[in-house]
Structure 1
Amino acid sequence: MKQHEADHILMSVPAKPEYVGVIRLTVSGIANRAGFTYDDIEDMKIAVAEACTNVVNHAYEESGMMNVSYLLYENRMEIIVADSGQSFDVAKVKDHLGPVDASRPVGDLKEGGLGLFLISTLMDKVEINDESGIVLVMTKFLHGDEVEQDVSEIQQTQPEQ
C-alpha cells in the first residue's frame, strides 16, 4: 500500500442514540483487524461514541443522518464523524481542518466542548471543521512496533551494574 493510499470504509446511519453502539462495534472490529492494542481500541471506542453522541444531541432539531468514515493507513486509522447527512469529499474537508485546542478552559469550548476535550485526550490527533455542520477527524497511530523497539533500545543502553 502506498503511503498516501488508505482503505476507506463509510457508514451513514440515522443520528439516533441506538446507532452509536453499532458505530462503536465497527470501530472495534476495524481497529482489531488493523492490529491496534486493546487499550487503543477502547480509547477509540470512547472517542467515537462521544463524537457520535454530540451529533445525536446537538446536530439536528428533528432527524438527520451522520456519516462516519474510517480511513485505514499503514501506520494509523482516521475516524471522521460528520453531522451532515450529505456525502462529503474527504480530501476537501481535510484541506479546511483546524486543531482542537484541549488546553483552553473547558468553559471556552463550544457546546459539547467537554466531549471534545475527552476525545482530544484519548486520540493522538483531533481536528475539526465547523464551516457547514461539524466534521471531526480523530487519528490514532499504530504504536505496536515502535514501542517494542524503544523498549529494547532502552534496555541495551542502560549501564551494567
Structure 2
Amino acid sequence: MNQFVDYIEMEIPAKPEYVGIIRLTLSGIASRMGYTYDDIEDLKIAISEACTNAVQHSYKSEEGGEIVIGFGLYKDKLEIMIADNGKSFNFEQTKRKLGPYSASSTIDQLSEGGLGLYLIETLMDEVRVLNNSGVTVFMVKYLNGERVNHDTTISNNETN
C-alpha cells in the first residue's frame, strides 16, 4: 500500500459559508501537485457537492456540528475524505474500512442527495461512501487523468 507524501486535515463548521474555504484549499493543493486547470475545476465541483451535502443533511440546524476534510497527497493521486460526523479520523484506517470497489452496490442505491453524489462519481476517478455514525465520502483523482474504476461503493457499517 502506498503511503501518502503529505496529509492535511481541516475541520470546518457545518455551515454553507465555509465550503468556499475548502474549495480554495483544494485548489491550492491540486495546483501545487500539478493538476490541470480542468482537473482542478472538477475537483472543486466534487468537493463542493460533498461538503454541501454534509452541510444540508448531517446536522439539525439548531444542533450545529463540524465537517472534517482530509487530503492524502501522493505522487500520482489526491485522495480526499469528507466526514460529516465532526470527529477526526485516522485517514488510513478509515480508507481500509471502506473496503474494495464492488459493482454490487451502486450509485442507484442512493436516496436523498443522490444526484450530487452521481456528479461526484462522474468527475472523480474513484468514489466510495461509508454510512456509519455519519457519512464519509472518499474520492480519488489521479494526476494522469486516467479513470481506473468507475464503480461506486456504498457501505452501511454499524461496527467500527
Give your verdict on TM over 0.5: yes
Which runs of no fewer than 5 residues in structure 1 stay unpaired?
147-161
> Unaligned 5+ residue runs, structure 2?
147-160
Equivalent position of 2:106 in the other structure: 101
Query: Which residue does 1:45 correspond to in 2?
Result: 44
Provide the rounded CA distance (Å) in 1 between the counterparts of 2:111 and 2:5: 31
One-letter amino acid matched to 1:126: V
Match of 2:77 in 1: 76
Code of the aligned partner of 1:53: T
Tell me which residue corresponds to 2:151: none
Q: Is the 8 A contact 1:93 1:129 kept in 2?
A: no
Tell me the equivalent position of 2:4: 5
Distance 1:56 1:10 in 2: 18
Q: Which runs of 4+ in 1 moved over 3 A?
A: none
Q: Secondary structure at the match of 1:96?
A: helix
What's the offset of the Cα at 1:111?
1.4
> How far does the alpha carbon of each residue in 1:72-120 deviate from its partner, in whole angstroms, 9 at most, with x for none?
0000001110001111112221122155724x3xxx4221111110000
Q: Return the alpha-carbon distance in structure 2 between the equivalents of residues 5 and 70 of structure 1.
A: 9
Aligned to 1:125: 126
For the 8 Å contact 1:32–1:41, the answer to whether it is kept is yes
Task: Determine which structure has the larger strand proportion and give its number.
Answer: 2
Aligned Cα RMSD in Å?
1.8
Instruction: Compute the TM-score of the two structures, normalised by the length of structure 1.
Output: 0.81
Matched to 2:22, the amino acid is: I
Code of the residue aligned with 2:40 in structure 1: it is I
Amino acid at match of 2:125: D
In 2, Cα distance between equivalents of 1:78 and 1:35: 15
The TM-score, its normalising length taken from structure 2, stands at: 0.82
Aligned length: 140
Highest Rg: 1 or 2?
Answer: 1
The code of the aligned residue for 2:21 comes to V
Q: Distance in 2 between matches of 1:3 and 1:16?
A: 34
